[in-house]
Amino acid sequence: MVQPLPNQPPPVLKELACPSCGRPLPQRLPGTQTFICPSCNSYVHVGIDELKEAGKGAKLPVSPFPIRLGSRFTLEGVNYFVMGRVLYEGWDDEDRWQWTEWLLGSNDGRLLWLSHDNEKGFVLFRKMRIKTAFDANTARQIPTSDGKTALVHERYPARIIGAEGELTFRASAGARLNMVEGAGHGKEYSIQVTASELEMYEGDKIDEMALATAFNNAEWIEQVKRRSNRAGVYRLVAGIAFFFAIVAFVLTVIANGTGDLTLSQEVTLVPATPAPSVQIPVNFPQGNRPAIVRLWLVSPLPVNTFAEVEVSVISPNEAETFIFEKEFWHETGIDEGERWTERDYFGGEVFVPYQAGTHEVEVTLGEISPLLKQDIKVRVGVFQNHILPSYFLIYGVIAAALGILFFVMSMRK
Amino acid sequence: MRAIVIVVVLVLFSLTLAGTAYASYTGFGMIASGAPFARVGSIGGPAVQGGGPGSGK
């Protein structure tokens, strides 16, 4: 149940002053340990009877959400007020990312952290009592408040980029910490580890619309609606892209099996002759349809020899077009004490006869191993009316990539 | 707005799939034997008109 409240700051407990610039720092939380001066950006630590400056930081960029210091809101029957904000940066070997945490005081005396990052959205974390030993460096499970365990998902270093307001821990600009994140049983878990302390938090995801409604911010509500509509469109586009990708992959499989076998003939190429070549007539009743020439080596090659065979097509107008060259080979050797033998006796290429009519497929023996004296027997196959599968495959990959892109965009919070 | 986007996306995907099917059917971009624009043994293409020392023609 959401009940908006007037935007009134909580009462001031104590009036303090920044030791650097003298600006008043009203203390509203009894457990405040750090103030960030809004004038000079000094981090001011609260001691037993004195304030101590702990360095200056850069001014915090404006929050992307209208959650301001001193704002009050009611969410699910609990009144909250915003006391502070911290902007963090985490990183790993490949990436850097940022997230924001707002310190919230509540009318039942608890202090909570409202966290936001682009992947998870908003999560309201409350501090969790540590009941069992937990090694932040190696543990794979997090002991939860109800005696169960949650799985650790991520472990990464982080630092404070900037902060504002009053905070209940000793913060300083650029301070390093290690994060452990996990999830389980519908809850999110966040563990923050510094040199001096380890704090565990358990949280629930909060729908942004519920938060915007709690703040009674019409502009924010409208933004969430627009974003939600946009996410819906992205999901729909992703669905369409995936559908077309599937269609393309099916067409790829179908096209891969197309082609009418027009010619299948075995030819013998004799190395001893000056220009060993054979011409085979083949009729193409219509032009501008893809055809495939395939070569299979019929006579096995002796080990560690090769033979190159070239294929050209002579059109009815006597124009000769080189199609491809295939190197057949048979190799053997020893690798890490094991004998291996590999051979390649098959090749093929697609071409498009521009003209209709009888063509000549010319098969010519090219360079061969000096030791190779035997005749080279090759089976030549020509398939007409082929449909190229590769274009459908490329289309499918691009459509699938677009689908993934739009799906990821639709998931951004 | 949503309907317009969906229609545009559907039309785009359909047109590009039709183009892909046409290219697959006609072998667009493959070696064309006997075509006026096809290579016929020279290393020069249709843009290579002349020759001369070292031209390779």
The predicted-structure confidence for A316-354, as pLDDT tens digits, reads as follows: 988 999 999 999 999 999 988 899 999 999 999 999 999
Which of A253, A354, A393 should one mutate to test binding to chain B, selecting the residue with the greatest count of B CBs within 10 A? Answer: A354
| Residue A126 near residue A112 (C-beta atoms within 8 A) | yes
What residues make up the domain containing A141? 14-216
Whether A129 is covered by a domain: the verdict is yes
Cβ-based burial of A62 (10 A; exposed 0-12, middle 13-18, buried ≥19): exposed
pLDDT above 90 covers what percent of chain A?
62
Chain A residue with the nearest C-alpha to that of B10:
A240
More confident call, B33 vs A360: A360
Whole-number pLDDT of residue A14: 85
In this structure, the answer to whether residues A367 and A277 fall within a common structural domain is: yes
In this structure, the answer to whether residues A37 and A181 fall within a common structural domain is: yes
Whole-number pLDDT of residue A269: 92
For residue B33, give the nearest of A248, A315, A388 by CB distance: A315
| Residue A378 near residue A266 (C-beta atoms within 8 A) | yes
Chain A residue with the nearest C-alpha to that of B5:
A233
For residue A351, give the nearest of B16, B33, B41 by CB distance: B33
In this structure, the answer to whether residues A177 and A296 fall within a common structural domain is: no
Whether A6 is covered by a domain: the verdict is no
Where is average pLDDT lowest: A149-158, A166-175, A333-342, A390-399? Answer: A166-175
**B46 to chain A nearest CA, in Å?**
14
What is the β-pairing status of strands A277-284 and A291-297?
unpaired
Whole-number pLDDT of residue B35: 75
State the Cα–Cα distance between residues A173 and A47, nearest whole angstrom.
Answer: 18
For residue B24, give the nearest of A241, A316, A388 by CB distance: A388
In this structure, the answer to whether residues A30 and A156 fall within a common structural domain is: yes
Whether A247 is covered by a domain: the verdict is no
- Given A216, A246, A269, the domain boundary residue is A216
In this structure, the answer to whether residues A144 and A290 fall within a common structural domain is: no
Whether A222 is covered by a domain: the verdict is no
Tell me the C-alpha to C-alpha distance, in Å, between residue A375 and each of A263, A343, A372, A380, A390.
Answer: 22, 18, 9, 16, 35
CB contact under 8 A, B27 and A352: yes
Whether A399 is covered by a domain: the verdict is no
CB contact under 8 A, B34 and A355: yes
In this structure, the answer to whether residues A268 and A355 fall within a common structural domain is: yes
The predicted-structure confidence for A248-282, as pLDDT tens digits, reads as follows: 999 999 999 999 999 999 999 988 777 789 999 99
State the Cα–Cα distance between residues A37 and A19, nearest whole angstrom.
Answer: 9
The mean per-residue pLDDT over the stretch A145-161 comes to 89
CB contact under 8 A, A351 and B31: yes
User: How does residue A8 score in pLDDT terms, banded at 50, 70 and 90?
Assistant: low
The predicted-structure confidence for B10-41, as pLDDT tens digits, reads as follows: 999 999 999 999 999 999 989 888 877 655 44
In this structure, the answer to whether residues A270 and A207 fall within a common structural domain is: no
CB contact B2 to A (< 8 Å): yes
Query: Under DSSP, is residue A352 helix (H, G, I), strand (E, B) or coil?
Result: strand
Whether A241 is covered by a domain: the verdict is no
**A259 to chain B nearest CA, in Å?**
11
pLDDT above 70 covers what percent of chain A?
97
* Phi and psi at residue A208, to the nearest 5°: -60, -35
The mean per-residue pLDDT over the stretch A52-78 comes to 87
Is the per-residue pLDDT at B50 higher than 70?
no
Give, for A35, the enclosing helix (H) or strand (E): strand A34-36
In this structure, the answer to whether residues A41 and A188 fall within a common structural domain is: yes
| Residue A266 near residue A377 (C-beta atoms within 8 A) | yes
CB contact under 8 A, A315 and B9: no
The predicted-structure confidence for A46-64, as pLDDT tens digits, reads as follows: 887 788 888 888 888 888 8
Whole-number pLDDT of residue B39: 52
The predicted-structure confidence for A378-393, as pLDDT tens digits, reads as follows: 999 999 999 999 999 9
The predicted-structure confidence for A15-43, as pLDDT tens digits, reads as follows: 888 888 989 988 888 888 999 999 999 99
**A122 to chain B nearest CA, in Å?**
27
User: How does residue A77 score in pLDDT terms, banded at 50, 70 and 90?
Assistant: confident
Whole-number pLDDT of residue A164: 92
CB contact B34 to A (< 8 Å): yes
Using a CB-CB cut-off of 8 Å, the residues of chain B touching A316 are 34
Using a CB-CB cut-off of 8 Å, the residues of chain B touching A288 are 26-27
Token reading at A15: 């009036």
Q: Is the dihedral of CA A217, A219, A224, A229 positive or negative?
A: positive
Q: How many domains does chain A divide into?
A: 2
Whether A197 is covered by a domain: the verdict is yes
In this structure, the answer to whether residues A287 and A341 fall within a common structural domain is: yes
Whole-number pLDDT of residue A101: 95
Token reading at A256: 């891969």
User: How does residue A131 score in pLDDT terms, banded at 50, 70 and 90?
Assistant: confident
Whether A232 is covered by a domain: the verdict is no
- Given A183, A199, A216, the domain boundary residue is A216
Mean pLDDT value across chain A: 90
Using a CB-CB cut-off of 8 Å, the residues of chain B touching A255 are 24
Whole-number pLDDT of residue B56: 42
In this structure, the answer to whether residues A265 and A211 fall within a common structural domain is: no
In this structure, the answer to whether residues A149 and A202 fall within a common structural domain is: yes
The predicted-structure confidence for A90-106, as pLDDT tens digits, reads as follows: 999 999 999 999 999 88
State the Cα–Cα distance between residues A282 and A382, nearest whole angstrom.
Answer: 8
For residue A388, give the nearest of B27, B31, B32 by CB distance: B27
> Cα Rg for chain B, rounded, in angstroms?
21
Is the per-residue pLDDT at B57 higher than 50?
no
Whole-number pLDDT of residue B49: 41
In this structure, the answer to whether residues A208 and A275 fall within a common structural domain is: no
Tell me the C-alpha to C-alpha distance, in Å, between residue A60 and each of A153, A163, A223, A225, A266.
Answer: 29, 6, 23, 27, 78
Chain B residue with the nearest C-alpha to that of A319:
B34
CB contact A401 to B (< 8 Å): no
Whole-number pLDDT of residue A413: 60
DSSP state, residue A62: P
CB contact A395 to B (< 8 Å): yes
Q: What is the CATH number of the domain that holds A272?
A: 2.60.120.380
